[in-house]
Copies of this chain bind each other. A is one copy, B any other.
Amino acid sequence: MPLGGLEEIGRNMMFFEYNNEIVIIDAGLQFPEEETPGIDFIIPNVTYLEENRDKVKALIITHAHLDHIGAIPYIMEKIGNPPIYTTALSREIIKRRQEEFPNAPKLIFEEVKAGDTVRISDNFSAEFFGGMHTIPDSIIVLLKTPAGNMCNLGDFRMEYDKEGNAQGMAMFEKISVKGVQAIFLDSTAAEKPGKGVSEETVEQNIEEVFRKAPGRIIVGTFASLLDRIRTVMQIAERCGRKVVISGRSMQENVKIAQNLGYIKMTQGLIVPLEDVRKYKDEKILIVSTGAQGETNASLMKIILGEHKHIRIKPGDTVIFSSSIIPGNERSVQTLMDNLARQGAIIHRSAFMDLHASGHGPQEDIKAVLRAIKPKFFFPIHGYYFMRYTNVNNAVEAGVKRENCVLMDNGQVAEISKLKVEVIKETVPAYYVMVDGLGVGDVGEVVLRDRRVLAQEGMVVIIATMDKQSGKILKNPDIISRGFIYLKENKEILDEIRRRIRGIFGRLPLDQEVDIDYFKGLIRDQIGQFLFNKTKRRPMVLPVVIEI
């Protein structure tokens, strides 16, 4: 049962149930969309798991990116705080994040590593293989169940050697030998033809830019793109530059990776942020968060002159080593505009391989499917069209079309040794939104109001009425926000007041006063009047005060 990730990018979470046992894979968050203004992020709906918390035996985490771990602080208590099976690096990153949530429960971990096989419960055991993504210690899960082996690759990319040969094929064949009943495969890049860019190519290109840079170098990337961060630090070392890490989350991730030995550096390569001015420009690399133009990230602070230790100076070379998340194009443009205005030399990955995606395109997908030879194919991670396209990839790689299963979030697939059937029953999978301290308290009505307020603004009309006579007692108060300046539009203001007095004045003397009826009249008549005058439909909020 997929709870998220099948109709979006992010919010990845699925679970397997057999008899009275449930095993979950991943618990990610999704970043807000245009349709969800003001929301911090969206997490999977765990209603079903909450109701069946006694059955939950394990949460397996494939890797420590937020779209796979981000929901953990919000859901663990609800689902009975099951043990988390994951690798050491993922565990440490999850633990650090959990510290930001003082009320969340203490987590229980079962450390696993590639090569391990662990028994989880009566019906489930899991074997782990080395995953290939952009963060170390990713794992591939082969969940062994009475209905066969279920293979979840997590986020998937293929790496190539210098001759262009795909790496890890031996591992995929090993998985194949064990027999894969069903594979659950990343569809993020399913539409993209060809093979992925090799990290080695990226490394060469970045090094080339490094060698030409006349002054300081700033590399902007994600705090969680630990493989890339390691790569640029290695290049810096080869080029005789010291490394400064700017951005709290990146500093913490690097420290965790160093402590666990995933990033091995010569003593003294990384120098403290506050020492950045002690080195010559051509001897410094700054690795910074904020390549997406995020408001509070280090790169934005640097540009706005709000960073404690770093300002842009002419001759700085800035390298954007990440893809732009759709929706951030404008913020990244602003970032680049300001960098250019301040004299920086900019290199971005849009037109040069300074970044390799963490998601394999079509030829990578087909190669892995040809090697693993699954019986059933479930495309996961991505909007419908991406997953639909991935079915075509699978068919080209030899999976029977009738064995490809296109599900939606909340649907239930019954998998047996012989067949897969998507049954009629569903589990709740609608958005759970996190906004400030609130989880799930912002619903569709609140969002709809926010969208209307954003588009058209609002007008509050306060009429004070004599309870006995139904007569209006004083000139109505009118306030508006996000609509027009009413102060500058006295004509409209006067006309609203005139119309409200009219509404109350037309009340027959002997009629009983129904407040809601008045409110309805005000909403309709003033709303229509404002629309005729302005062709806008602000939210009209009538308040009638009875004295």
Q: Which residues of A contact B (CB under 8 A)?
A: 7, 33-34, 37-38, 191-193, 326-327, 329-330, 333, 336-337, 339-341, 346, 348, 350-351, 383-385, 388, 435-438, 441-443, 445-447, 449-451, 453-458, 460, 462, 464, 473-474, 477, 479, 481-485, 488-489, 533-536, 539, 541, 543, 545, 547
Contacts and interface: CB of A to CB of B under 8 A. Distances in A.
Contact of A193 (B340, B351, B445): B351
Contacts of A37: 454-455
Nearest to A38: B455
Contact of A446 (B337, B441, B443, B484): B484
A183 B210 CA distance: 35
Contacts of A534: 435-438
B385 A340 contact: yes
Contacts of A541: 460, 479, 481
Contact of A435 (B446, B450, B488, B536): B536
B38 A543 contact: no
A533 B436 CA distance: 9
Contact of A543 (B330, B341, B477, B484): B477
A436 to B, nearest CB: 3
A449 B480 CA distance: 10
When all copies of this chain in the complex are counted, the total is 2
A488 to B, nearest CB: 8
Contact of A451 (B388, B454, B545): B454
Nearest to A334: B383
A330 B462 contact: no
A308 to B, nearest CB: 25
A445 B337 CA distance: 25
Contacts of A330: 33-34, 326-327
21 contacts: A38-B455, A38-B456, A38-B457, A38-B482, A191-B351, A193-B351, A326-B329, A333-B385, A336-B385, A435-B536, A436-B536, A437-B535, A438-B484, A438-B536, A443-B485, A445-B485, A446-B482, A446-B484, A449-B481, A481-B541, A545-B545
A434 to B, nearest CB: 10
Nearest to A391: B340
A545 B472 CA distance: 13
Contacts of A383: 333, 336-337
B385 A535 contact: no
A78 B400 CA distance: 67
Contacts of A385: 333, 336-337, 339-340, 346
A379 B92 CA distance: 50
Contact of A450 (B191, B193, B454, B545): B454
Nearest to A532: B437
A541 B489 CA distance: 20
A211 B341 CA distance: 50
Contacts of A441: 484-485, 488-489
Contacts of A545: 462, 464, 474, 477, 545
B482 A450 contact: yes
A198 to B, nearest CB: 20
B457 A453 contact: yes
Contact of A437 (B464, B489, B533): B533
Given A446-B484, A453-B457, 14 more contacts: A7-B337, A38-B454, A193-B351, A333-B385, A339-B385, A441-B489, A447-B482, A453-B458, A453-B481, A460-B541, A460-B543, A462-B543, A464-B464, A545-B545
Contacts of A193: 351
Contact of A453 (B7, B442, B454): B454
Nearest to A542: B479
A437 B535 CA distance: 6
A83 B477 CA distance: 48
Complex A-B, nearest 4 residue pairs according to Cβ-Cβ distance, in ascending order: A436-B535, A454-B454, A453-B453, A38-B455
Contacts of A536: 38, 435-436, 438
A33 B443 CA distance: 25
A533 to B, nearest CB: 7
A450 B458 CA distance: 9
A445 B481 CA distance: 9
Contacts of A450: 453-455, 457, 482
B539 A481 contact: yes
A317 B473 CA distance: 65
A297 to B, nearest CB: 18
A333 B442 CA distance: 25
A534 B440 CA distance: 12
Most chain-B CB neighbours within 10 Å: which of A193, A327, A458? Answer: A458
Contacts of A458: 453, 458, 481
